[in-house]
């Protein structure tokens, strides 16, 4: 049975729609690996504070790391998510104040590995915040 133009257009538009859905739903999409997550804990106050930080992935919340950071000091903590995830969220607590930050654009890159650098910063005027550095190259 010969194909008609209408049948060809319907088949082509169906395949195109499926391709668009595949991109939106993440089918066949490569999620980049986050081999090491560097979190700089920064105490921008005049007093020492105990910082608590944990990484949450699709597998759940990881172990909390606690560090007492002297005044006006920065210390780096490395965590290893060890797999591919659609999202990575950093949770932080200092002086009973909580904050969280998600690694941005984890799916919006064509790289197979990204190494984001996060900053968990605390000062008494604005409270705790988790920021992401713009440099995500390994």
Q: How far apart, in whole angstroms, are the C-alpha atoms of residue 41 and residue 30?
A: 30
In a domain, 2, yes or no: no
- Select the more confidently predicted residue: 9 or 90: 90
Domain at 103, CATH number: 2.60.40.4150
In a domain, 79, yes or no: yes
**pLDDT at position 39 over 50:** yes
Domain with 87, as residue range(s), is 33-136
What is the rounded average pLDDT of the residues 33-38?
Answer: 74
Total domain count for the chain? 1
Look at the alpha carbons of 60, 36, 43, 122 in this order and tell me if their dihedral is positive or negative.
Answer: negative
**pLDDT at position 5 over 60:** no
In a domain, 16, yes or no: no
pLDDT category of residue 107 using cuts at 50, 70 and 90: low
In a domain, 5, yes or no: no
In a domain, 22, yes or no: no
Global confidence as pTM: 0.68
In a domain, 120, yes or no: yes
Give the DSSP H/E element, type plus range, for residue 7: helix 5-25
């Amino acid at each position: 049975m010969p194909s008609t133009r209408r049948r060809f257009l319907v088949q082509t538009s169906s395949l195109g729609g499926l391709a668009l859905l595949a991109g939106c739903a993440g089918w066949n999409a490569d999620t980049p690996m986050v081999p090491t997550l560097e979190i700089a804990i920064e105490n921008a106050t005049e007093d020492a504070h105990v910082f608590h930080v944990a990484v949450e992935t699709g597998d759940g919340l990881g172990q909390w790391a606690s560090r007492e950071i002297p005044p006006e000091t920065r210390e780096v903590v490395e965590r290893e998510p060890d797999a591919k995830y659609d999202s990575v969220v950093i949770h932080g607590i200092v002086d009973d104040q909580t904050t969280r930050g998600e690694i941005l654009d984890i799916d919006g890159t064509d790289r197979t590995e990204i190494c984001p650098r996060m900053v968990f910063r605390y000062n008494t005027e604005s409270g705790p915040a988790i920021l992401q550095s713009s440099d995500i190259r390994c």
